[in-house]
Structure 1
Amino acid sequence: MRLKCPVCGERDRREFYYVGDAVALARPDPDAGEAAWDDYVHNRDNPAGVTRDLWQHEAGCAAWIVVTRNTVSHEILETALAADVKRAMS
């Protein structure tokens, strides 16, 4: 798989570190209980289809990148700097 770094251009996936889902998780209150914290730490959705993931260009410019991709077809639909995505959401 190849990812397009907005700073460096297209690169092999091995230059990047997959961080996880690019959606903010609702952190439980400190006293929410063991079950709530277990769910927060260990359980994630694993949808088939279009997802937004957070990656770091670890072996390159170190940029944080949001990658929109289809997990069924492996098609990369879009890449953007995470800072730009955050600004657009504000």
Structure 2
Amino acid sequence: MQLIECPWCGPREETEFHYGGQAHVDYPPDPAALTDEQWAQFVFFRANPKGLFAERWSHAAGCRRWFNAVRDTATYRFHSVYRVAEQKPTIS
């Protein structure tokens, strides 16, 4: 069992968390103006790199807050976690 560090609650078992997708994706300023194809691009198409990746996570069975994490998609190892309002750490 892997421990994930919640920025508010500290380390907890991974079963308490839910993945929320790619972090730092800006919502379209005027979604009603988008074509169906543009909306589909926004909703369904995300980066899928091998290596370090910024993601959104929710501590669903704990404080129920959202936070961001930098995780290695090849090893599943979390490199850092940070609150949504905080700046993304440098990913190398």
TM range (shorter): 0.7 to 0.9
Deviation readout 1:8-60 (Å, 9 max, x if unpaired): 11111111121111122352742332211121122112111101111111111
Kept in 2: contact 1:28–1:40 (CA 8 A): no
TM-score normalised per structure 2: 0.79
Aligned position for 1:14: 15
Question: What's the Cα RMSD here?
Answer: 2.1
Q: Distance in 2 between matches of 1:58 and 1:84?
A: 20
The residue that corresponds to 2:73 in the other structure is 71
Match among 45, 51, 54 for residue 52 of structure 1: 54
> What SS does the aligned partner of 1:25 have?
coil
5+ residue gaps, structure 1, are none
Moved more, 20-29 or 36-45: 20-29
Q: Structure 2 stretches of 5 or more lacking a match?
A: none
Which whole-Å CA distance do the structure 1 matches of 2:29 and 2:56 have between them?
21
Instruction: Find 2:84's aligned residue among 70, 82, 85.
Output: 82
Q: Output the amino acid matched with 2:8.
A: V
- C-alpha separation between the residues in 2 aligned to 1:84 and 1:35? 32
Secondary structure of the equivalent of 2:63?
coil
Q: Secondary structure at 2:40's aligned position in 1?
A: helix
User: Matched residue pairs, number?
Assistant: 87
Report the TM-score, using the length of structure 1 for normalisation: 0.80
